[in-house]
Amino acid sequence: MLNRRRFIATSGAVFLARPGFAQGESIKLRELYNRDQSFSDLAKELEGTRISVDGFMAPPLKAESRFFVLTKMPMSVCPFCETEAEWPDDILAVYTKRIVDVIPFNVKIMARGVLELGSKTDEDTGFLSMVRLTDATYA
């Protein structure tokens, strides 16, 4: 029989997998990846759940897009547009239902959506993401 205490105890187990993590708390981009750029255990545990991640909006790949790239550090130029620009290893594609309102590159934001892992190519831009938030909001 599933009672309230048992439900809380079992559903909270994933969120207690690392010290100091609580449901609804923001995750840092680096916590989704291991040093070798593979997915962390935390990312695997949270796949398919709604999470919050903080970071910076990279300059958009195209106007009136429904997705943007979240980075851990501000980026003033689009790395795809500038050959000298170095694209960070730990990024997160954020897919929204509405056209993205661009936020200045140096303003920290919080994105919230359903975590998806694995290779996916954006049909409009050809952007390949390995990790992303879908059905996302940001502020």
Which amino acid is located at 115 in the chain? L
Closest CA to 111 of 75, 61, 58, 62: 58
- Domain range enclosing 91: 26-138
Closest CA to 131 of 7, 23, 33: 33
Closest CA to 135 of 98, 91, 109: 98
Residues of the chain with confidence (pLDDT) below 50:
1-21
In a domain, 11, yes or no: no
In a domain, 41, yes or no: yes
CA-derived radius of gyration, the chain: 16
Q: How many domains does the chain have?
A: 1
Beta bridge partners of 117: 131
Say what the pLDDT of residue 24 is: 62
Q: What is the CATH number of the domain that holds 98?
A: 2.40.50.870
In a domain, 5, yes or no: no
In a domain, 33, yes or no: yes
Say what the pLDDT of residue 15 is: 40
